[in-house]
Structure 1
Amino acid sequence: MKNYKYIFIFISVFLLAGCEDYLDRTGTSELTPEEEAWSNRVIITSFAYRMYDTMGWMYEIRQDGFNRRESGPGKNYGSCVVFSGEVIDMRSHFVHNDVFKGDYVDALKLSFANPEFWDAWYDNWELVFVSNNILDKIDEVTTDIMPQNEIDQIKGEAYLFRAFAYHELSKRWGALPYIKTRIFPDSDLNLPRPTYREQITDIIADCDMAIATLPEDSYLNDPVNMGRMGRAAAMALKSKALTTAASPNYTANNQKDTELWEMAASAAWDLIKLGQTSDKVGLYQGDYGEIFHTSRGTIEGVWPRYFGESDAGAYNLSWLWVRTGGKTGYSPTQELVDRFETADGYPISHANSNYNEQNPYVNRDPRFYKDILYHGAAFPVISDSDLLDMRTSPVIGDDRSKPFSTDYGSSTTGYLARKFLPEKFNLTGYRRNTFVNPPYIRMAEIYLNYAEAVNEAYGNPNATAPGASLTAVEAVNAVRNRVGHVDVRPEFTTDEGVFRELVRNEFRVELCFEYHTWYDILRWRIGQEEFDGKRMHGVLITEDATQPTGVRYERFPIEQGPPRIFVDRMYRYPLKESDLQIFEIPLLTQNPGW
């Protein structure tokens, strides 16, 4: 065990990196002995805050190119919204390049601007370390030190965040040893890898402990604790983790596990049922944009992410483009745009859709207009009357980068992302502050989890989970109807396989840009058919008076080096070989193919 102490030292380095935060919160200038720390209400609370601090990698954005700022969804470097093919980023980033050419081993080595491979690994192990430290001591805290509800809150958070850490680790690297005790320099960490079935059992046990321990369902609009986790967050993580575990990428021999799908359906229903009577948890029926911005939070955010008001610099290197003062202009792909149905509920490829590729932006799913900016869309940039100009010929439009080039900063594909951008919120014509608070898990995902799980468990889109009053079809309709979209068409609701594809498309439309699709592609094991040997596409827009809108639309491939590589081993990330060698943990075996 001579080198196990290095693991302890390594994790401690990351933990101590946050000590400045501790000291700021406790108002002391030196470390407090352990016995004294666990007798101090403020310091104990700071341990809980540290668990929240470790989640910063999930929301990393960079303001003005250098300063980190944790606010909403702006993980613009090493970003899974690029990996998933939802957007094109023409800025050259080492991590993106490594993923596209299939070199995940090199991606593991990059510490800068790499939340997906570097930060997700080290920060989640730190979270395990911190959670176990809390659980080791929290039962010794007495009510003369802090009230019982505060003790329960911190204890519940520790169980919840440990479950969260293992969910985030295992969906990338596969099942890993579930450490439930405090880690010391001489701890034996040479532990065998469990099966994913064993892993999900431990994750769910921690979620259940959190549900049983946390004192409130939600802290929405709480004057003191808004942004902290309640029982609804633990129920949401349980649903998310079970839906992942039941999916083909994580089951034994990639075969259907009906029992896990039944458990996933039940977990999702538990939270949906809570939302039917709660005023703090539910499917938000107000303006769609308020889920992500302009509001301090809504009932939709079952795992909330709350910050104060932000200016548009938060999106300087992700969603903003040149005319709005940004430098990147993430560009949605034609593949994503094509996933939005017509207004009457048909895929655009369906014979009954009446889709016209030369008038492509009329009569589409209402979410299209909430999520995507396209040629001719009304969107204030400098003035209220602005229309976006995505032309490629005879001139390059004001919001467009030159096609077939490495230019970046404006739209590469003919589209820009609207979903997270409040109107009149940029760095040019409209400088103001507003809330930017997209949740980690929101209620729409839970409804879709339920629909998927019921269909898979019972082989029938019109089935319900035991004790539930909602069919799989009705769950999808609830998500669609609240934005004004039509019910799922009857012809898509009678067959398990047809409905499976419809639900998968709903995930990709409803949760686009929310750091969800990449992990769905992995869990469904469809990466090879989606990516291998392929390129994403954009649209050329040329003035043509013979066309219905005065321009002609033509698909074209986005060329960023050779076609993409995706092979079977890429459904798991590799473990970092240097870690395995330095720490001498031979039972932590490498993932297949790496």
Structure 2
Amino acid sequence: YQENAEKMARDFQRAAELLPIDWDNTAAGSRTKGNNAFRPNKIWALSYLGKSLLYAGSPLMVNGGENSNRSYDADYCKRAADALGKVLAMVEGGQTQYALVNFDKYSSLFYTKEQNWLMPGGTEAIMRSPTYGADSYWRQMNSYQIQDIAEGDGIILCPAANYVNYFGMANGLPLSDPNSGFSKEQPWKGRDPRFYNNFLYDGVKMIKAPTDDKFKAFEYANLYEGGNACNDPKRTSRTGYLNYKFIPLGANKADNDYGYGKATHFHLAWLRLAEVYLLYAEAAAQGYGSPSGKSTSFTKNAVEAVNVIRQRAGVEDVATAYTADLEKFMGEVRRERAVELAYEGHRFNDLRRWKLLTESPYNIKTTQRFDRAEAFDPNADPKERKVVNFREEVVTQRKLSSKHYWLPFKTDDVTMYPEFYQNPGW
């Protein structure tokens, strides 16, 4: 793995030396000014240089999957932090076209509507795949909702409750911290603002203005035990939550405020600036063996880089209880990646490279069940609602072992000559 990583690093480094930061500011790019966002540039190259080096220094790639050693390679991590730090120094120095979007525009990272098919991502998207017009996956919006209000195909993509638990409190603490203030009687109170942005929970409005009687029963999310939003595993949520990170309120049959006619464009960037901050934090901490570790290429240390992302969302900084110990801090880094990059296609690779794919609780999916403690009031703030009998149950468990950290090679390939071995366990 490292041999290939070194080849990639040489290519990315050479590309960074040759490419401009912004093609709009070059003679060649001036002919397509304003339309150069998909052309590889120096920021792409340095960002992927850092990411590939961090992967090469991660536990799976350093130690293999057949043991419990989860140590990093400090040298790879230092090199990664150096490359990623250069990107962040240029961004914060105003030398690039990239910047974090304000949190009130957070949804614009993932979808746009009635903006002439504007590509989502704004100033934060570094690398994206091209799409054109209606080829924007807006139909997938139906799969995030219960089938009674969507034009879906029977697929319900509901978030596992144990994953939702990564979204801690606005005070910056994880739910499990005894000082977090989390209460099973009011489980949606005081949470990380990204929780409210990403998830639909019990009592939240699902339909803006139902005019047809058949939709009025679904105006609010009835996700309590026996509610109509969680009573059928094939048509409703199996976990007590629905994923609204990628869809606007109104993307349903009742409101019909989405889709082709509304130029709804749903698209995920392959790499965005927020991830660069989190990659840097991980690399700097592991490279220099401390949460206060930092590269000479950037003024911020690992903790401060995480706090940049939290501050954008209105979450308090990493608590001091998690900044004195490297492993405790890494728990917060892993949790921050889970929260900020939720459902954007990074989690499986993260769990693999951290060697956590086979470990509990990372190999389970759960549901949260509860009863409403009071009569439903549509005018009440759903964050303040009280519940009773709150409990969490396992829905499924992955039966994975160490061999699943790598895919098997084809039998025809590994029988060509004795030195070409099969991956372990296959």
Normalising TM by the smaller chain, what interval?
0.7 to 0.9
State whether residues 38 and 130 of structure 2, in contact with CA within 8 Å, keep that contact through their aligned partners in structure 1: yes
- The 5-angstrom pairing of residues 295-310 of structure 1 reads 295-296=118-119, 297-310=121-134
Partner of 2:249: 423
What do the CA deviations read for 1:136-175 (whole angstroms, capped 9, x no partner)?
Answer: xxxxxxxxxxxxxxxxxxxxxxxxxxxxxxxxxxxxxxxx
SS in 2 for 1:410: coil
Partner of 2:391: 555
What do the CA deviations read for 1:106-151 (whole angstroms, capped 9, x no partner)?
Answer: xxxxxxxxxxxxxxxxxxxxxxxxxxxxxxxxxxxxxxxxxxxxxx
Q: What is the one-letter code of the residue matched to 2:161?
A: Q
Distance 1:370 1:479 in 2: 15
Structure 2 vs 1, CA of residues 453 and 224 (structure 1 numbering), >3 Å: closer, same or farther?
closer
Counterpart check, 1:213 vs 2:38: no
- The 5-angstrom pairing of residues 15-34 of structure 1 reads none
Partner of 2:165: 338
Partner of 2:403: 569
Q: What is the one-letter code of the residue matched to 1:333?
A: A
The answer to which of 535-544 and 358-367 deviates more is 535-544
Based on CA coordinates, which of the two structures has the bigger radius of gyration? Answer: 1
1:555 Cα deviation after fit: 3.0
Q: What is the one-letter code of the residue matched to 1:572?
A: W
State whether residues 142 and 151 of structure 2, in contact with CA within 8 Å, keep that contact through their aligned partners in structure 1: no
State whether residues 159 and 243 of structure 2, in contact with CA within 8 Å, keep that contact through their aligned partners in structure 1: yes
Counterpart check, 1:478 vs 2:308: yes
> What is the count of residue pairs matched by the alignment?
387
The answer to which of 442-451 and 313-322 deviates more is 313-322
State whether residues 225 and 369 of structure 2, in contact with CA within 8 Å, keep that contact through their aligned partners in structure 1: yes
Counterpart check, 1:541 vs 2:370: yes
State whether residues 371 and 417 of structure 1, in contact with CA within 8 Å, keep that contact through their aligned partners in structure 2: yes
Distance 1:535 1:576 in 2: 29
- The 5-angstrom pairing of residues 357-506 of structure 1 reads 357-380=184-207, 383=210, 386-393=219-226, 396-397=227-228, 399-402=229-232, 407-429=233-255, 430-431=257-258, 432-506=262-336
- The 5-angstrom pairing of residues 5-404 of structure 1 reads 196-217=1-22, 222-252=33-63, 255-276=71-92, 277-286=94-103, 287-294=105-112, 295-296=118-119, 297-310=121-134, 313-315=138-140, 318-322=143-147, 323-326=149-152, 327-380=154-207, 383=210, 386-393=219-226, 396-397=227-228, 399-402=229-232
State whether residues 492 and 502 of structure 1, in contact with CA within 8 Å, keep that contact through their aligned partners in structure 2: yes
Structure 2 vs 1, CA of residues 256 and 216 (structure 1 numbering), >3 Å: closer, same or farther?
closer
SS in 1 for 2:275: helix
Counterpart check, 1:520 vs 2:350: yes
Structure 2 vs 1, CA of residues 559 and 500 (structure 1 numbering), >3 Å: closer, same or farther?
closer
Q: What is the one-letter code of the residue matched to 2:73?
A: D
State whether residues 447 and 475 of structure 1, in contact with CA within 8 Å, keep that contact through their aligned partners in structure 2: yes
Q: What is the one-letter code of the residue matched to 1:251?
A: V
The answer to which of 227-236 and 538-547 deviates more is 538-547
1:500 Cα deviation after fit: 1.2
Alpha-carbon RMSD across the aligned residues, in angstroms, is 2.8
SS in 1 for 2:368: strand
What do the CA deviations read for 1:237-257 (whole angstroms, capped 9, x no partner)?
Answer: 112211111111001565431
SS in 2 for 1:530: coil
Structure 2 vs 1, CA of residues 272 and 334 (structure 1 numbering), >3 Å: closer, same or farther?
same
What do the CA deviations read for 1:365-413 (whole angstroms, capped 9, x no partner)?
Answer: 11111111111123436549942221333xx32x3243xxxx3232111
SS in 2 for 1:500: helix
SS in 1 for 2:80: helix
SS in 2 for 1:485: coil
Q: What is the one-letter code of the residue matched to 2:225?
A: T
Distance 1:353 1:551 in 2: 19
What do the CA deviations read for 1:79-116 (whole angstroms, capped 9, x no partner)?
Answer: xxxxxxxxxxxxxxxxxxxxxxxxxxxxxxxxxxxxxx
Distance 1:550 1:464 in 2: 44
Distance 2:386 2:297 in 1: 55
Which residues of structure 1 form unaligned runs of 5+? 1-195
What do the CA deviations read for 1:11-62 (whole angstroms, capped 9, x no partner)?
Answer: xxxxxxxxxxxxxxxxxxxxxxxxxxxxxxxxxxxxxxxxxxxxxxxxxxxx
State whether residues 454 and 472 of structure 1, in contact with CA within 8 Å, keep that contact through their aligned partners in structure 2: yes
1:585 Cα deviation after fit: 6.2
User: Which structure carries more helix by proportion?
Assistant: 1
Q: What is the one-letter code of the residue matched to 2:85?
A: W
Structure 2 vs 1, CA of residues 301 and 586 (structure 1 numbering), >3 Å: closer, same or farther?
farther
State whether residues 370 and 418 of structure 1, in contact with CA within 8 Å, keep that contact through their aligned partners in structure 2: yes
State whether residues 373 and 418 of structure 1, in contact with CA within 8 Å, keep that contact through their aligned partners in structure 2: yes
State whether residues 308 and 435 of structure 1, in contact with CA within 8 Å, keep that contact through their aligned partners in structure 2: no
SS in 1 for 2:359: helix
Structure 2 vs 1, CA of residues 348 and 282 (structure 1 numbering), >3 Å: closer, same or farther?
same
SS in 1 for 2:390: strand
Q: What is the one-letter code of the residue matched to 1:303?
A: M
Distance 1:451 1:292 in 2: 24
1:216 Cα deviation after fit: 4.7
Q: What is the one-letter code of the residue matched to 1:207?
A: F
Q: What is the one-letter code of the residue matched to 2:246?
A: F
Distance 1:368 1:471 in 2: 26
> With structure 2 as the length reference, what TM-score do the two structures score?
0.82
State whether residues 85 and 295 of structure 2, in contact with CA within 8 Å, keep that contact through their aligned partners in structure 1: yes
Structure 2 vs 1, CA of residues 319 and 269 (structure 1 numbering), >3 Å: closer, same or farther?
same
Distance 2:141 2:192 in 1: 29
SS in 1 for 2:371: strand
State whether residues 306 and 437 of structure 1, in contact with CA within 8 Å, keep that contact through their aligned partners in structure 2: no
Partner of 1:125: none
1:330 Cα deviation after fit: 0.8
